[in-house]
Amino acid sequence: MAALLLGTDPSKSDLHRRRLLEQSDRLLDRVEQLRLMEQGSVPPTLAAAVRALQLRLGQVDPARPRTVRAAQNLVFAVQQRLMAANPRSPQPRSHPGRAAGSPRVARLPAGGCWKLLSLPPRGAGQGDEDWRELVALTVTRALDRWSWAQGRAVGAARDRRGEAPRLVTRARVAWTNYWELRCEAEALLGEPLPAGGPGRRP
């Protein structure tokens, strides 16, 4: 989502965000109608629309809901992320269905899984400098994890091991997670982060 919403022109980014909010409102109306009709399952067209909305937000592995409850939760999660991207009230976004600041384990298309980090929320009673430091440390952690995954992928490709495609996919997901967190953090903090380097293992 960071790549979609944090563009070079803030006015265009916010317009895009508000249009996605309107689209999510329409989807939520359709889901609510099914709930009032006591329907348990979601029609394929609505499930596809919910998945497409997640894709527009740049999610790595968008879900296709099967139940009305799942569709409602996914649309609510999308709206939470869109509202968190409001430039007039910036807040760290969270993963769908997860508490703010909680990571999410994503299943990868080539097999295996990877933990996707998210930025820490502004805590009650927490000093601004402490929160800013935690944000920067989370971004550094994501960079370290990508560096480790990239090293494993390069080694497997160089040795022509059969696991190379899976490790390359994992490294790409790790990079996307890092880059989105960096873009989001710089928008929240209002300043560029210093360049980092490889360090801790995940």
Question: What tens digit of pLDDT does each residue of 47-85 get?
Answer: 999 999 888 877 767 788 899 888 888 887 777 777 666
Nearest to 79 by CA among 152, 2, 22: 22
Q: Is the pLDDT of residue 27 over 80?
A: yes
Place of tokens 């009230």: 89
How confident is the model at residue 146, as a pLDDT? 94
Top-confidence range, 23-27, 38-42, 148-152: 148-152
| Cα–Cα distance, 148 to 153 (Å, whole number) | 9
How confident is the model at residue 112, as a pLDDT? 82
Nearest to 93 by CA among 180, 195, 192, 202: 180
Q: Is the pLDDT of residue 200 over 60?
A: no
Summary count for the chain: helices (H), strands (E): 6, 2
Map residue 43 onto helix, strand or coil: coil
| Cα–Cα distance, 79 to 81 (Å, whole number) | 5
Concatenated DSSP letters of 70-85 = HHHHHHHHHHHHHHHT
Chain Cα centroid distance, residue 112: 18
Mean pLDDT of 149-173: 90
Mean pLDDT across the chain, nearest whole number? 78
pLDDT per position as a tens digit, 135-159: 899 999 999 999 999 999 999 989 8
pTM listed for this prediction? 0.53
How confident is the model at residue 15, as a pLDDT? 80
Higher pLDDT, 123 or 5: 123
| Cα–Cα distance, 103 to 150 (Å, whole number) | 20
How confident is the model at residue 2, as a pLDDT? 43
Q: Is the pLDDT of residue 98 over 90?
A: no
Q: In one letter, which amino acid is 135? A: V
Q: In one letter, which amino acid is 73? A: N
Mean pLDDT of 8-12: 55
The CA distances from residue 178 to 17, 86, 116, 124, 185, in Å, are 21, 21, 9, 26, 10
Map residue 3 onto helix, strand or coil: helix
Q: Which two tokens stand for residue 14?
A: 């916010």
